[in-house]
Amino acid sequence: MQPANPMNPVIPIRANHSNRRRWLQQMGAVSLGMAGTLVGTASWAQSSGQAALVLGDQAGGLRALFEAARTLEGAPFAWRWANFQGAAPLFEAHRSGAVDTAVAGDLPVLAAAVGKTPLKIVATRVGQPDSLGIVVQGDSPLRSVADLRGKTVIVSSARGSISQYQLYGALEEAGVKREEVTVKFVLPTDAAAAFASKQIDAWAIFDPYYTIALQQGGRILRDGRGINTALGFITATEAALTNPGKRVAIAQYLDRLARAGDWALANREAYAQVYTQLTRLPIEASRIITGRAAIAARPVTQADITALQTVADRSARDGILPARVDVAAITDTGAWRAAA
């Protein structure tokens, strides 16, 4: 089966309006409120006289980290947040130049590169592979990945997501051919509403949506341990990196991200409490999500490039990506060297 363009729009799902409303209320600022900016108006860049960055985020994760650690306060550059519910819409903004930086897992970065997004990897973040998985209804008769034969699995958010990689790895592990399973791609909030109304049998999804689905009664069929690298990456647009002022600002932003990660690792409960305040999620969910999130940031190493190249090669082999990506060619190891 030949894959579509990895940046193609995902399939919409019709869900019960009350369930969708309940999901959005629970996700609160994750899906809605955190799309706001931290710096004034549309003229923020011109009025500040500083280099200015638009920082792309997913489900408010980075913003929550910085709000908790407060390491962006006093930064020598202007910034504002642009929040997206998944990697696919974030990288559409990245490709159009609407954001200067983005944060995503391994495969979405590769999918964006295949989709001709002019990006460079500038930093690595390390999380835990149990922050994503295949979820089924609590009363589902599905008990193993092998039971997915003949079933439909919803993957969020689009082709080339970390959840697609995890699903395909789980199918291969269980000896299930991909053509034996129907795969559909749906944005997380739409899929969540459908899952809550039991329109979905199996859902391959990542945090924070993954944890919420489990807390709403879902059950893990297989998580990402042993399949996913748990590596995340910060990317920057080529245009931003060739702009001297923005290139300096990106390095300063990454210095502050590393400090924020160090603070969060040393203050896990305080981080979870701020995450709850910002996202309006229950504190129990916030503790789980922040406890296994990719927090710490570091400059890209050769080992990171090698690990991501393995994902790229396997994804090209399996038809997840339509072409092989040369990871070294989309990495700028000189953009950031952590402050001593």
Every domain of the chain and the residues it spans = 28-128+230-330, 130-223
pLDDT of residue 11: 42
β-strand pairing of 152-155 with 182-185: parallel
Residue 182 has pLDDT above 60, yes or no: yes
pLDDT of residue 18: 52
Q: Out of 3.30.565.10, 3.40.50.920, 3.40.190.10, 1.10.357.10, which CATH number does the structure's domain 28-128+230-330 have?
A: 3.40.190.10
Strands (E), the chain: 52-58, 78-84, 101-105, 119-126, 132-136, 152-155, 182-185, 202-206, 219-223, 231-237, 297-298
Mean pLDDT of 146-165: 92
pLDDT band at 119 (very low <50, low <70, confident <90, very high): very high
How many angstroms separate the CA atoms of 54 and 52, rounded? Answer: 7
pLDDT of residue 15: 44
pLDDT of residue 6: 34
pLDDT of residue 296: 86
Instruction: Tell me the C-alpha to C-alpha distance, in Å, between residue 323 and each of 112, 208, 267.
Output: 12, 30, 42
Mean pLDDT of 166-186: 96
**Taking the model in full, what pTM does it have?**
0.82
Tokens 């910002």 belong to which residue? 278
Mean pLDDT of 299-325: 95
> Are the C-beta atoms of residues 6 and 322 closer than 8 Å to each other?
yes
pLDDT of residue 13: 43
pLDDT of residue 50: 84
- At residue 137, the 3 state secondary structure works out as coil
Residue 197 has pLDDT above 50, yes or no: yes
pLDDT of residue 22: 53
Fold of 130-223: D-Maltodextrin-Binding Protein; domain 2 (3.40.190)
Mean pLDDT of 218-234: 96
pLDDT of residue 160: 86
Q: What are phi and psi of 71, to 5 degrees?
A: -90, -5
Mean pLDDT of 35-42: 39
pLDDT band at 67 (very low <50, low <70, confident <90, very high): very high
